[in-house]
Copies of this chain bind each other. A is one copy, B any other.
């Protein structure tokens, strides 16, 4: 998950690090998709990103929810941060996410692991209609079919937890996984 949002946030990096040792941090995750004119998902967007420790992995869009920021606005901001200003996302109508991903600093507590923190992410599938380009710290953005996404997600080429989320998203939208 990108840390680039901290620039405009209300916490210094130090304060955020301190909070991360003591509070679950609220995140949103958005699995970006392309849909046909019947609303069927044709492609999923996967970002390629280098983590702090140099490991490279595919990821979905997401990041922290800021103080006094609505879920909807956090989703819009992270889509813009990760896919650019003309991605034209169709933000979810309803607050109900398809799942809650609980990232624990300790591996094995849940299928989601984040060594930096205890992050709880509200996960949505978000169609994007516009032009998408990888931003900032992302090395690449690839659009793959649901079948390819399922395979990549199972292959270990994704940042821990993100592969699980992609496959849960595919199950939610009706694909055989």
CA A20 to CA B174, docked complex, whole Å: 24
CA distance A125 to B94 in the complex (A): 9
- Of B92, B167, B168, which one neighbours A39 at CB under 8 angstroms? B92
Taking a contact as CB atoms closer than 8 A, the residue among B19, B24, B164 that contacts A69 in the complex is B24
**Residues of chain B within 8 A of A109, CB atoms compared:** 70
Query: Within A63-87, which residues are at the interface with B (CB < 8 Å)?
Result: 65-73, 76
Contact bitstring A81-102, B, C-beta under 8 A = 1, else 0: 0000000001111111111111
Rounded to whole angstroms, the CA-CA distance of A41 and B91 in the bound complex is 11
Contact A168 B171 (CB under 8 A): yes
A39-B93, A171-B172, A177-B168 given as contacts; is B127 within 8 A of A23 (CB)? no
Q: How many copies does the complex hold?
A: 4
Distance in angstroms from A74 CB to nearest chain B CB is: 9
Are A65's CB and B120's CB within 8 A?
A: yes
A7-31 to B contact mask, C-beta < 8 Å, 1/0 = 0001100010001011111100000
A93 touches B41 (CB 8 A): yes
Whether B26 contacts A22 by the Cβ 8 Å rule is no
Among A103-140, those with CB < 8 Å from B are 104-106, 109-111, 118, 120, 122, 125, 127
